[in-house]
């Protein structure tokens, strides 16, 4: 069935839509926010959507995704039951759960929670009304609307999403789990916008999940801005488990103040086309950022990780480690760009990308890249792509372990270098389970959230017990 022309993702459609709904979109904007929106719209009008003629999009062709046709809604479509989203929680993990359904914040009791310790979390739309000054201070200051049409489009249409504010000197007592669920009966285009502020000396753990509950096609253009104040600590997880008809463009912009520390994990388990734009700006000296990624792809799945780390100040360290296992006709792209600016002495930057190809038809394009304008730095980069190690296979099989199980053990061990970096034990256990299931081809996008597949009450049947005993 050919999609209606009005449903195609084109520059014209969104320009037209913006112009017709300009007043509605900006209804709650302060003057400053309205200005950001208009500027972003101008940017988008000029840039349009990226295509393969652009260097950073050369290997990711969106044409097929664009041509599927999608509904786009300027208002939440339905009243939703929080439990519908909430069911995706991680068992025995004591988190504060906040949810989004189809890009709209879903309220458990109130749209914006204000906790005793000063933490605010909830709907960004609500926060714009209630805390306009706070929002103005941070919103739109990290995302770069001039470089990328998707980010500009998100800003131009930005309405709702999640807002989390951790004031100075406050350490969030529990991890926050932000669950973004896509569940709709028609193809859907969605553009959530999130703003996370971690104050000076503050601390936040955020688990950000993208899940789909059915097999309907979707196209997500998510922009998340994260500010980590001086000496602040952010532990961030992005867990992607979407159906094979989904396209996800996720852009996360981190701004790190002096001595701020970040661990950010990208765990891509499933999805039709996944693109992670990860940008880290060191906005003061002595910051530290570790960016970890693991992707497990098969069929015709496509994953594209673009990491840009801007060492704009001296004495910062960054470490990127991305690993992937690619089966069948899947494809992965890694593009790591470290920029060391002229004044950034004593920069320490490392990049590594390792891939295992299980078939002749799986493909990887890996490009670690260092751009250095200072002599007094330590930088390294490396990339390897190969098959499973035959020596190791022989060794395992010689001990009586069957070929399939041996492959599984080696693949899991390969992935484990990244999984083991997960600092929350319950989450690490869940991800280990999911990686095992994924490698066995058992991880399904099911009606029940996949995170429920393994609990102590319903142990998962997995023949290799990897539990440390």
Choice from 216, 329, 405, 426 touching other proteins (CB under 8 A): 405
Kindly state whether residue 396 participates in binding other proteins, applying the rule CB under 8 A.
Answer: yes
Stretch that binds other proteins, among 178-186, 295-303, 394-402, 444-452 (CB under 8 A): 394-402
Report the b/e string of 186-213 with b at 16+ CB within 10 A.
ebbbbbbbbbbbbbbbbbbbbbbbbbbb
| Cα–Cα distance for residue pair 282/290, rounded to 1 Å | 12
Kindly state whether residue 397 participates in binding other proteins, applying the rule CB under 8 A.
Answer: yes
Q: Which residue's CB is nearer to other proteins, number 332 or number 418?
A: 418
| Cα–Cα distance for residue pair 244/217, rounded to 1 Å | 8
Kindly state whether residue 394 participates in binding other proteins, applying the rule CB under 8 A.
Answer: yes
Stretch that binds other proteins, among 11-19, 20-28, 399-407, 433-441 (CB under 8 A): 399-407
Provide the token pair at 112: 């914006």
The site for other proteins, by CB under 8 A, has a size of: 28
Minimum distance of other proteins from residue 433's CB (angstroms): 15
Kindly state whether residue 392 participates in binding other proteins, applying the rule CB under 8 A.
Answer: yes
Residue 378's contacts (CB-CB under 8 Å, 6 or more residues apart) are 347, 348, 349
- Beta-bridge partners for 332: 303, 364
Check the CA dihedral 48-192-241-448 and report its sign. negative
The label of the residue with tokens 């995704």 reads: 65
HSE of 331, CA atoms in CB hemisphere, 13 A: 11
Provide the token pair at 88: 């995706």
Minimum distance of other proteins from residue 152's CB (angstroms): 42
Kindly state whether residue 414 participates in binding other proteins, applying the rule CB under 8 A.
Answer: yes
Choice from 398, 441, 447, 459 touching other proteins (CB under 8 A): 398
Site for other proteins in 75-104 (CB under 8 A): none
Provide the token pair at 4: 């209606």
Kindly state whether residue 74 participates in binding other proteins, applying the rule CB under 8 A.
Answer: no
Pairing of β 288-297 and β 261-270: parallel
Site string for other proteins, 19-58 (x = CB under 8 A): ----------------------------------------
Site string for other proteins, 112-151 (x = CB under 8 A): ----------------------------------------
Q: Which residue's CB is nearer to other proteins, number 59 or number 396?
A: 396
Site for other proteins in 427-446 (CB under 8 A): none
Q: Which residue's CB is nearer to other proteins, number 75 or number 399?
A: 399
Choice from 24, 403, 423, 425 touching other proteins (CB under 8 A): 403
Kindly state whether residue 388 participates in binding other proteins, applying the rule CB under 8 A.
Answer: no
Kindly state whether residue 71 participates in binding other proteins, applying the rule CB under 8 A.
Answer: no
If we measure between CA atoms, which residue out of 212, 155, 222, 149 comes closest to residue 191?
Answer: 222
Kindly state whether residue 15 participates in binding other proteins, applying the rule CB under 8 A.
Answer: no
Kindly state whether residue 183 participates in binding other proteins, applying the rule CB under 8 A.
Answer: no
If we measure between CA atoms, which residue out of 173, 236, 162 comes closest to residue 202?
Answer: 173
Strands lying side by side in the sheet with 233-241: 104-106, 96-101, 176-182, 203-212, 233-241, 261-270, 288-297, 317-326, 347-357, 377-386
Provide the token pair at 414: 């390969």
Kindly state whether residue 400 participates in binding other proteins, applying the rule CB under 8 A.
Answer: yes
Q: Which residue's CB is nearer to other proteins, number 11 or number 397?
A: 397
Choice from 63, 375, 391, 461 touching other proteins (CB under 8 A): 391
Minimum distance of other proteins from residue 414's CB (angstroms): 7
Burial of residue 74 (CB within 10 Å: 0-12, 13-18, 19+) is: exposed
Kindly state whether residue 461 participates in binding other proteins, applying the rule CB under 8 A.
Answer: no
Q: Which residue's CB is nearer to other proteins, number 370 or number 396?
A: 396
Q: Which residues bind other proteins (CB under 8 A)?
A: 389-392, 394-403, 405-406, 409-410, 412-414, 416-417, 464-466, 468-469
């Amino acid at each position: 069935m050919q999609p209606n022309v009005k449903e195609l993702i084109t520059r014209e459609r969104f320009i037209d839509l913006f112009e017709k709904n300009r007043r509605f979109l900006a209804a709650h904007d302060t003057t400053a926010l309205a200005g950001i929106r208009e500027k972003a719209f101008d940017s988008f009008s000029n840039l349009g959507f990226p295509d393969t003629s652009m260097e950073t999009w050369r290997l990711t062709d969106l044409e097929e995704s664009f041509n599927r046709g999608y509904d786009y809604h300027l208002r939440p479509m339905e009243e939703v039951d929080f439990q519908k989203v909430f069911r995706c929680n991680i068992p025995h993990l004591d988190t504060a759960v906040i949810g989004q359904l189809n890009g709209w914040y879903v309220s458990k009791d109130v749209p914006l929670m204000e906790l005793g310790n000063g933490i605010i979390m909830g709907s960004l739309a609500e926060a714009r009304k209630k805390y306009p000054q706070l929002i103005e201070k941070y919103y739109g200051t990290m995302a770069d609307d001039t470089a990328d049409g998707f980010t500009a489009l998100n800003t131009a249409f930005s309405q709702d999403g999640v807002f989390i504010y951790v004031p100075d000197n406050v350490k969030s007592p529990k991890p926050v789990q932000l669950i973004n669920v896509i569940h709709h009966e028609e193809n859907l285009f969605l553009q959530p916008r999130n703003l996370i502020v971690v104050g000076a000396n503050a601390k936040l753990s955020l688990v950000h999940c993208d899940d789909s509950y059915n097999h309907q096609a979707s196209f997500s253009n998510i922009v998340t801005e994260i500010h980590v104040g001086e000496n602040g600590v952010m532990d961030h997880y992005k867990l992607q488990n979407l159906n094979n008809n989904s396209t996800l463009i996720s852009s996360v912009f981190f701004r790190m103040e002096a001595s701020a520390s970040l661990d950010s994990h990208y765990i891509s388990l499933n999805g039709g086309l996944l693109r992670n734009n990860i940008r880290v700006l060191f906005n003061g000296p002595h910051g530290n950022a570790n960016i970890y990624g693991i992707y497990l792809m098969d069929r015709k799945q496509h994953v594209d990780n673009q990491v840009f780390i801007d060492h704009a100040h001296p004495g910062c360290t960054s470490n990127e480690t991305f690993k992937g296992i690619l089966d069948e006709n899947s494809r992965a792209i890694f593009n790591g760009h470290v920029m060391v600016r002229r004044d950034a002495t004593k920069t320490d930057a490392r990049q590594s990308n390792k891939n295992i190809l299980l078939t002749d038809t799986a493909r990887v394009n890996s490009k670690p890249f260092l751009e250095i304008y200072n002599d007094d730095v330590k930088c390294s980069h490396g990339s390897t792509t190969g098959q499973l190690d035959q020596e190791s296979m022989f060794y395992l099989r010689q001990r009586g372990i069957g070929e399939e199980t041996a492959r599984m053990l080696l693949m899991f061990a390969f992935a484990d270098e990244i999984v083991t970096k997960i600092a929350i034990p319950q989450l690490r256990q869940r991800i280990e389970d999911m990686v095992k299931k994924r490698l066995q081809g058992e991880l399904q996008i099911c009606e029940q959230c996949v995170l429920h597949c393994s609990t102590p009450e319903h142990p998962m049947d997995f023949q290799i017990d990897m539990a440390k005993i």
